[in-house]
A and B are shown apart, each in its own frame.
Chain A
Amino acid sequence: MVCFNFFLFRIVQTDPLAHMFRGRNIPRELQENLRAAFGLDQPLFTQFLYYLRETFTLNLGVSYHSRQPVWSEIMARLPATLALLGSSALLAGIFGTMGGIVAAWRRNTWKDRFITSGTMVFYSLPDFWLGMLLLVGFSVVLGWLPIGGMGTIGVTLTGLPAVLDYLKHLTLPAMTLTIAYLGEYALVTRSSLLEVMSEDYLTVARAKGLRDRVVRNRHALPNALLPVVTLAALNLGFILSGAIAVEAVFSWPGLGQATAQAIRGPDFPMLQGLFLLFSASVILFNLFADVLYLYLDPRVEEV
């Protein structure tokens, strides 16, 4: 992965210094010195070794845009993204799963049709457009919630008011992402539960005279929720990169907004650092999901 990242960016970006010098007159000699200082006069393979060493010591270079080290820039923005995506992942998981359970258990009723078609619609719209609509509705027209950012500018708040202010700013982007991710959970829960519902052991449970609720909660759900848990684990991989456009819409100062800004530059060191981190988190949670599944479902044997 690291290796791919290096070469990917090296393909086009033959001279990173040209970016820094853009539009400025810098003596030839100084340019050569700088190039040597950055190691750009070395052969590609030596550069690659440097890159490996620097990456493992978390030195991801300097952002063209802010002239700050990429790593500290990323770390500064990480909490905002984690808060936004963590809360919406949790809400989407809970509401989506609940919707899926209702839809499957009451299959082919109006509830099922309502939930299934609703999730299909939410699944089909661009998440940032949903954000734009909610923003206009709740902030511009109704004026209930702030239009963006993470806190009211120009006011210093402490204690409870500060928390409330933060939550107010969080509401709309979190709501957008929750709605956007809900559909996936509902669909997976529904189809998995429907599959379990056709199994013999449920008929047996019913024949024992158990109440509908007990059959559902004690017998059907534990098996049916396995794929949902895996989905949730996999989705956690996107906890860093899942809201690039939505963060941009709400000017939420997280990693997604940083990506959107880095594209405009384009700020290659920043993009490179972000991409490395995004991929790393996805790969990590992929592994985690595999291990989790093995642990939760004894029927799966190690391949």
Chain B
Amino acid sequence: MTSLTRKRRKAAARRIWSQFRSSKQGMAGLVILLVFASLALAAPLIVDQSALNPVVARAEGNPQWASPGEFAPLGTDHLRRSVWAQFVWGSRVSLFVGVAATAVTMAIGATIGIIAGFRGGRVDALLMRFTEWFLVIPFLPLAIVLASILGRSMWNIILVIGISSWPWMARLIRSQVLTVKQRLFVDRSRSLGASNRHIIARHILPNVSGLILANATLAIPISILAETSLSFLGLGNPRNPSWGKTLEEAFTSGAMTRNAWWYFVPAGVGILIVVLAFTMIGRTLEEIADPKLGGRR
């Protein structure tokens, strides 16, 4: 029994992969993402983290505000630190926060969505009222307020983005669960004496997971952009700078009036490319999960 389902799952995964491979957009996104993911993972091998420390940078005798021509590869900032080192280490934080915050969003959204959709009735009504109420609270202001209350740290930012962005995920998953619940195999399974837990784990979840995955991929860019804005507004952790934090420091140190483009261009380009890559992958997955969307996008 289990080996049969495993075989079927494997076949489904292979089918999705072959569909994915035929999409130029999706593959381009995946390749870009792999490049940045390896950059983030290999950060300690590329530049030592001490390069982010202004004291070390000064001791090394780095020049201040050096252009890329004077200090390879991306110049230095007002504290003599290498911009390249900040870019490499920033990719780590930005990507990690984006993925982790989305994981929090998914966890809350999926739990509430599945319970509401599966239970129905009064539980559903109550949970959806709660969700709708959260849905109308503007995302960024809520995140800002929560982050300034909780204090500056990377984990708080992850938590805050997750808390502020779960409602639409819950609604989406609920509506999916509602349609899957009507399908015949759920009734069959129940008539064979399956428990709710079994039905949710074995029948509902596998059937909504494609859509969840596609939407999670599309939610990551939103999380990354939210992290960037929060960090730019001074809510990021200065010890562990993300790309958004680099942009904030470039802004406050006056890099713009000096026209020190090497300080604020790389981080922004990094964000743009990573966000685009995730969007391209997410759209491709969405088209696979819901072929009706087809060419409309």
Contacts and interface: CB of A to CB of B under 8 A. Distances in A.
Contacts of A194: 296
A245 B251 CA distance: 11
Q: Is the interface of B mostly helix, strand, loop or mixed?
A: helix
Interface stretch (A51-59, A125-133, A165-173): A125-133
B235 interface: yes
Contacts of B234: 260, 263-264
A132 B256 contact: yes
Interface string A109-138: 000000000001101111011001101100
A228 interface: no
Contacts of A283: 136
B110 interface: no
Contact of A121 (B136, B261, B272): B272
Given A129-B268, A132-B251, A282 B136 contact: yes
Contact of A271 (B136, B145, B225, B250): B145
Interface stretch (A15-23, A236-244, A291-299): A236-244
Contacts of B225: 124, 126
B142 A124 contact: no
Contacts of A274: 141
Interface centre among A121, A125, A259 (most CB of B within 10 A): A125
Interface in A271-303: 271-272, 274-275, 278-279, 282-283, 286
Interface string A6-48: 0011011100000000000000000000000000000000000
B148 interface: yes
Interface in B210-230: 221, 225, 228-229
A195 B294 CA distance: 12
Interface residues of A, number: 47
Nearest to B145: A275
A128 B279 CA distance: 20
Contacts of B257: 140, 147
B247 A275 contact: no
Contact of B235 (A4, A140, A241, A263): A263
Interface string A54-85: 00000000000000000000000000000000
A120 B136 contact: no
Given A245-B233, A249-B251, A278 B244 contact: no
Contacts of B137: 1, 4, 279, 282
A257 to B, nearest CB: 11
A133 B268 contact: yes
Contact of B136 (A12, A135, A195, A286): A286
A248 interface: yes
Given A132-B247, A132-B268, A191-B297, A259 B141 contact: yes
Nearest to B138: A282
Q: Is the interface of A mostly helix, strand, loop or mixed?
A: helix
Interface in A144-197: 147, 191, 194-195
A8 B145 contact: yes
Nearest to B297: A191
B144 A125 contact: no
A140 B296 contact: no
B165 to A, nearest CB: 15
Given A129-B247, A129-B264, A244 B144 contact: yes
A73 to B, nearest CB: 17
Interface string B127-147: 000000000111011101110
A263 B244 CA distance: 16
A264 B165 CA distance: 24
B4 interface: no
A279 B164 CA distance: 13
Interface in B245-297: 247, 250-251, 256-257, 259, 261, 264-265, 268, 271-272, 275-276, 279, 296-297
A126 B232 contact: yes
Contacts of B142: 275, 279
Contact of A241 (B141, B148, B221, B276): B141
A123 B235 CA distance: 23
A144 B188 CA distance: 72
Contacts of B221: 124
Given A241-B138, A241-B141, A249-B251, A271 B233 contact: no
A140 B272 contact: no
A237 B138 contact: yes
Contacts of A147: 256-257
Given A245-B229, A248-B233, A271-B145, A124 B279 contact: yes
Nearest to B259: A140
Contact of B144 (A13, A132, A249, A259): A259
A207 interface: no
Contacts of B145: 8-9, 271-272, 275
Interface in B139-175: 140-142, 144-146, 148-150
A191 B150 CA distance: 40
Given A120-B276, A133-B265, 6 more contacts: A124-B275, A126-B232, A141-B259, A147-B257, A262-B148, A272-B145
Interface of A: 1, 4, 8-9, 11-13, 120-121, 123-126, 128-129, 132-133, 135-136, 140-141, 147, 191, 194-195, 237-238, 241, 244-245, 248-249, 259-260, 262-264, 266, 271-272, 274-275, 278-279, 282-283, 286
5 contacts: A132-B264, A135-B256, A244-B141, A244-B144, A275-B145
